């Protein structure tokens, strides 16, 4: 059921995930679906960094992205509770 996994490093969520997607597809991120760690607010406010620049530069608290068939979403979220990390449904590939 896993179609791809992306380690989110410099370049943000969209840039790091783009390389997994077939031509013509894109990741539509629901930016409000997870709590952004306070350090990113501090960086943004202290540096006067626009939100879009933050999203293009930092992972905003998301370390890995799993691309899966939508039918397996609930299974992944359920099994994700077995690990010491929080899993979030952050978007769709369209």
pLDDT tens figures, 46-64:
999 999 999 999 999 999 9
Among residues of the chain, what percentage have pLDDT more than 70?
100
Residue 79 tokens read as 């099994």
Domain positions in the chain = 2-93
> Taking the model in full, what pTM does it have?
0.88
* Residue whose C-alpha is closest to residue 88's, from 37, 8, 9, 32: 32
- List the CATH code of the domain at 2-93: 3.90.650.10
Confidence of residue 38 (pLDDT cuts 50, 70, 90): very high
The model's pLDDT over 67-78, given as tens digits with 9 standing for 90+, comes to 999 999 999 999
The C-alpha atoms of residue 62 and residue 12 are separated, in whole angstroms, by 9
């Amino acid at each position: 059921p896993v179609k791809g996994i992306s380690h989110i490093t410099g370049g943000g969520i969209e840039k790091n995930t783009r390389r997994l997607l077939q031509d013509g597809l894109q990741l539509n991120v629901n930016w409000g679906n997870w709590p952004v760690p306070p350090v990113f607010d501090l960086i943004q406010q202290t540096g006067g960094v626009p939100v879009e620049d933050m999203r293009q530069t930092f992972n905003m608290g998301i370390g890995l992205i799993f691309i899966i068939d939508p039918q397996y979403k609930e299974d992944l979220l359920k099994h994700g509770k077995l690990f010491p990390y929080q899993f979030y449904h952050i978007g769709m590939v369209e």
